[in-house]
Amino acid sequence: MNRQQMIKKVESLSTLPTLPVVAMELNRMLQDVDTPIEQLVALLERDQSMVLKILRLVNSSFFGLKNRVTNLRHAVTLLGYTTLQNAVVTVSVIDALKLKKDIGQFDISTFWLHSIAVAVMGRHLATRTKLVPAEEAFTAGLLHDIGKVVLVNAFPDVFIRIIETKHAEQVTFYKTEQTLGSWPHTRIGSHLAKRWMLPDVLIETIRDHHQRTGSATDSPMADLIGVADCLVNIMEGNPGYRLEGGNLPPAIKDRMVVVLKDSASWFPAVKTEMVNAGNFLKQG
Ligand SMILES: [Fe+2]
Ligand SMILES: [Fe+2]
């Protein structure tokens, strides 16, 4: 199946994962910066199960708050607009994609562990480099590969071919997608993110996280998550990933080099954070 056929099928797919109505409405509301916070709270309160999940999330090690937050209003005042949206997007996307079962060689829990690792790494790089807001980097990292979930569900045969070719040739997943001429997970994911009305920064990160060398992305978030993804892939022992000064995106290179040089001092703590965040997700 070639790229055009894949695009056609996804366009017509009624089985694309959906976000809860409340999350969609919230995303729509947040596109208007003047939406009063009261209105957001009122909207979220319509979905109590989401409120509970948000509170659980903001009280978890994901957010690292000092004091426990017990109600939504408090959470909103304490966390502010962007963090609230990140929290809602995080809980609803995890929910939307979690139910999808393993298919063949695709293990959904491995997928989420990878996503969490990139989220934690992204947040850390963001904090250290101050290139982008840290929590936004967390959400962007968590969502960067969502296209793979659609890919494996809608095109299991294509997915298996990619995995087999990737193993045989010892190259990256993305490189294999390009060689095979299939519609890449970056584009499938950004298509889904658009449908979900996620903020532009997330759409761009999902779309551009593999496009770091040569062509500039104009998105420091996509560049940063690209680096985080590369580091995590190296950590996981996946072939085809390299990170050298020479292939860092120019816009973030200087600050990133400083942080990466110092990685021996921060890596153990980041690894622990990854494990903690992974445990949170496992409790579902
Ligand atoms: Fe990716
Ligand atoms: Fe990735």
Question: What's the 42 CA to ligand 2 centre distance in angstroms?
Answer: 35
- Ligand 1: distance of its center to the CA of 229 in Å? 7
In angstroms, rounded to a whole number, what is the distance separating the alpha carbons of residues 20 and 144? Answer: 20
Q: How far does the centroid of ligand 2 lie from the alpha carbon of residue 34, in Å?
A: 34
Q: How far is the CA of 3 from the centre of ligand 2 (A)?
A: 21
CA gap 144, 245 in Å, rounded: 23
- The whole-angstrom distance between residue 282's C-alpha and the CA centroid of its chain comes to 17
| 128 CA → ligand 2 middle, Å | 21
pTM listed for this prediction: 0.85
Determine the distance separating the centroid of ligand 2 and the alpha carbon of 115, expressed in angstroms: 7
Distance CA 229, CA 43 (A): 34
What does the radius of gyration of the chain's CA atoms come to, in whole angstroms? 19
Q: What is the largest CA-CA distance in the chain?
A: 55
Predicted local distance difference test score (pLDDT) of residue 213: 45
Å from CA of 41 to ligand 2 middle: 33
Nearest one of 91, 61, 53 to 270, comparing CA atoms: 61
Per-residue pLDDT tens digits of the chain, which is 284 residues long:
778 888 887 777 666 777 778 788 887 887 777 878 788 888 888 888 888 888 887 787 666 667 788 888 888 777 777 777 778 888 888 777 765 566 666 788 888 889 989 999 999 999 999 999 988 898 899 999 999 988 888 888 899 999 999 999 999 999 999 999 999 999 999 998 888 888 889 999 999 999 754 455 678 999 999 999 999 999 999 999 988 777 788 889 999 999 999 999 999 999 998 888 777 766 65
Give the list of residues 6+ apart from residue 220 with CB closer than 8 angstroms, or none: 131, 132, 251, 252
- Bridge partners for 103 per DSSP: 106
Query: What is the CA(145)–ligand 2 centre distance, in A?
Result: 5
Q: CA-CA distance, 262 to 278, in Å (whole number)?
A: 25
176 alpha carbon, closest ligand? 1
pLDDT of residue 187: 93
Contacts of 10 (CB under 8 A, 6+ apart): 16, 150, 154, 183, 188, 191
pLDDT score at 263: 92
pLDDT recorded at residue 214: 44
The ligand whose atoms approach the alpha carbon of 208 most closely is 1
- Taking the C-alpha atoms of residue 217 and residue 204, their distance in angstroms, rounded to an integer, is 9
Beta partners for residue 106, in sequence order: 103
200: CA distance to ligand 1 center in Å?
A: 17
